[in-house]
Structure 1
Amino acid sequence: MTKRDDSHLPKALQGLRIPMVASPLFIISVPDLVIAQCKAGIVGSFPALNAREAEGEPPLLEAWLTQITEELDRHNQANPDRPAAPFAVNQIVHRSNTRLDRDLEICTRHKVPIWITSLGARVEVNEAAHSCGGIVLHDIINNTFARKAIEKGADGLIAVAAGAGGHAGQQSPFALIREIRSWFDGPLLLSGAIATGEALLAARALGADLGYMGSPFIATREANAQQGYKDMIASSGAEDIVTSSLFTGVSGNYLKPSITAAGMDADNLPDADASSMNFSSGSSKPKAWKEIWGAGQGIGAVQAVTDVPTLVDRVEREYIAAGKRLAAEFAD
């Protein structure tokens, strides 16, 4: 395999086994999953709001960052020829996130290498990341938001296109990546049905530096998800994904069988206003809908619940094979 040239990227994104970042999954991404992702050679991540301690207890985020850092350090000392990838922490930069200032201070003190910001681009968040040597990747759904994020100091962009899980965008990746690349030559990731090595290669062909994959990791043993959720991911496909704003106030993609199981008509859901979004309790989704499960359109590639190393192995094999097929087409 020809070594890819990633020298134009920030150091934290160089030298990955395959050009992939695992997206932060609410509730699901916990230290065990992040550590397994990093050891497998891709960037692992988790939302800061996943670390929720009981009242009066010390910040769980502090403990998680210590656990992840120490375990990856041990791995790197034992495997100097196969070091772990760095990790990322996702900060929800929404006005309702009352923990943001506290979490920024903790992440700065722990020198988090990669910061993923969502639902708002703020200069002070980017400055906090840069003060400890970190880089900021901001997720966006259109070119206008992309420009605003870079103007406010983000280092890179995560283009969330149609087909992504969670709060998905609505634009085709072909259009979104092309518009951003017309003016931005920095780190660019693509999110939206990246579930195979072929999709990862396609993202690179479009002009993205890395793929951003989430839903397949739900169906892993390391993920903090109910077994029913994992099994539903493995047994569903793109036609089982429903797009709705009802549950959080922002358009998102969800598993139709989970909506049906909650007693609702998945084909006739009402809309909700963005003003209903509130992250003060960690999630913008009311507890009554905690088993309305999100997923992206790429889940048809997930055939069974497996572990993280097996999943990353599959994607790597597919990525290399797809690249070789195309390379042969263009060989002299």
Structure 2
Amino acid sequence: MALPAVFNNLRLPVIASPMFIVSGPELVIAQCKAGVVGSFPALNAREKEGEPVQLEAWLKRITEELDRHNQENPDQPAAPFAVNQIVHRSNARLERDIEICMRWKVPIWITSLGARPELNEAAHAGGGIALHDVINNRFAKKAIEKGADGLIAVAAGAGGHAGAISPFALVQEIRSWFDGPLALSGSIANGKAILASQAMGADLAYIGSAFIATKEAHAVEPYKQMIVDGTSDDIVYSNYFTGVHGNYLKPSIAASGMDPDNLPSSDPTTMNFSDKGEKPKSWKEIWGSGQGIGAVDEVLSVGDYVAKLEREYREAQSELQRKIIADALESAS
């Protein structure tokens, strides 16, 4: 099945995942200009009481800058952007944010932690498509039944609220019944992994943690350096901090005075996405990351990182093609 037209201008089959705090207008604009889908969580755009609505300002800036880029670069138009909506009962802003995204005609909506038909309908009313992120096949079927256009398979090793199922298992189960748009999330940080995700059956790679170590990311320098210095050995999978299992950097947990190898379990009902649902001060510098960061060895600009991904992706395609031809010749001889 062909991908929706919104993906036609991609330089690479990549969606940059929306990251709490880290993803802002600077990062999204740079990602889109570099030719991959840029995204941010709507809840990252926060304002104090009485101040102008930050989400409105962010969408205005992103839309206008990308429009200007497209006018100046008709042969290299920007990729589309996406906004992530947290569909959870504690998100008191959800209805307001849906209305704002409809007015700004957000092209791609990414929904998390709950599939709701009315949100998918809102995306369609604004001319967009809705992708729902899922951690298992059961949730995937529910999302499509409720009107999502596509899925994001959040497999083991992904950053943020990650699943625990192998990407091989998760993609094959989804593809046994669904032929629509499918992105794969989980330890993808180089061009070879992008090609591998397509070989498995996904249409798009969903990359997050590697973008933390870019100049445009809204992350403090120690966080970026921890990504550069880290490997999969530095990641711990825990539900302690939000009530939902996710992957975190062990050194950041240890720096906050906790033992990353002996974290207690938490109650999922403690999850809170309201404006007042702040983490305790002792958790402010506990940083999320996926297992793929061993591929990240320096802080780059988004443009340079995407160019690196493209080189690796094209080289992987050529190498795989050589192997296929060599195997075919050997079989024929």
The Cα of 1:15 is off from its aligned counterpart by: 2.9
Q: Does 1:94 align with 2:81?
A: no
Mark the CA change 1:284 to 1:170 in structure 2 (over 3 Å): closer, same or farther: farther
Counterpart of 2:123, as a letter, is: A
**One-letter code of the match for 2:140?**
A
Q: Is 1:9 paired with 2:3?
A: yes
1:104 alignment partner AA: I
TM-score under structure 2 length normalisation: 0.96
Cα offset, 1:285, TM superposition: 4.0
Q: Aligned-pair distance for 1:257?
A: 0.3
The answer on whether the counterparts of 1:49 and 1:282 sit within 8 Å (CA) in structure 2 is no
Asked if 1:277 is matched to 2:264, the reply is: no
Gaps of 5+ in 1: 1-6
Give the secondary-structure state (helix, strand or coil) at the position aligned to 2:100: helix
Please tell me whether the aligned partners of residues 243 and 253 of structure 1 are also in contact (alpha carbons under 8 angstroms). yes
> CA contact under 8 A between 2:256 and 2:282: conserved in structure 1?
no
Instruction: Give 3-state SS (helix, strand or coil) of 1:294's partner.
Output: coil
CA distance in 2, matches of 1:327, 1:213: 24
What secondary structure does 1:254 align onto? strand
The correspondence of residues 297-316 of structure 1 with structure 2, limited to 5 A, is: 297-316=291-310
Aligned residues: 326
Amino acid across the alignment from 2:292: G
Contact 2:9–2:77 (8 Å) recurs in 1: no
Compute the RMSD of aligned alpha carbons.
1.1
Aligned amino acid, residue 58 of structure 1: P
**Distance (Å, rounded) in 2 between the aligned partners of 1:29 and 1:267:** 28
Residue 70 of structure 2 aligns with an amino acid whose one-letter code is: N
Q: Report the equivalent of 1:62.
A: 56
Aligned to 2:253, which of 245, 248, 259?
A: 259
Q: Percent identity?
A: 69
CA–CA separation in structure 2 for the residues paired with 1:282 and 1:233? 28
Q: How far apart, CA to CA, are the structure 2 residues paired with 1:257 and 1:311? A: 25
SS in 2 for 1:175: helix
Cα separation, partners in 2 of 1:204 and 1:161, compared to 1, 3 Å: same
Does the 8 A contact of 1:277 with 1:284 survive in 2? no
Structure 2 residue aligned with 1:30: 24
1:39 counterpart letter in structure 2: K
Q: Does 1:248 align with 2:242?
A: yes
Q: Secondary structure at the match of 1:315?
A: helix
Contact 2:234 2:251 in 1 (8 A): yes
- Could you give the per-residue CA deviations for residues 78-107 of structure 1, whole angstroms, max 9, x where no partner exists? 110000000000000001000000000000
Query: Residues 24 and 90 of structure 1 are in contact (CA less than 8 Å); yes or no, is this contact kept in structure 2?
Result: yes
Are 1:113 and 2:111 matched, yes or no?
no
Cα distance in 2 for partners of 1:123, 1:235 equals 42
Question: Residue 159 of structure 2 aligns to which amino acid in structure 1?
Answer: G
State the partner residue of 1:151. 145
Partner Cα separation in structure 2 for residue 217 and residue 57 of structure 1 = 30
Secondary structure at 1:229 match in 2: helix
Are 2:42 and 1:42 aligned? no
- Matches of 1:282 and 1:240, distance apart in 2: 30
Is 1:175 the counterpart of 2:169? The answer is yes
User: Is 1:293–2:294 an aligned residue pair?
Assistant: no
Q: What does residue 217 of structure 1 align with?
A: 211
Superposition TM-score, scaled by structure 1 size: 0.96
Corresponding residue SS for 1:157: strand
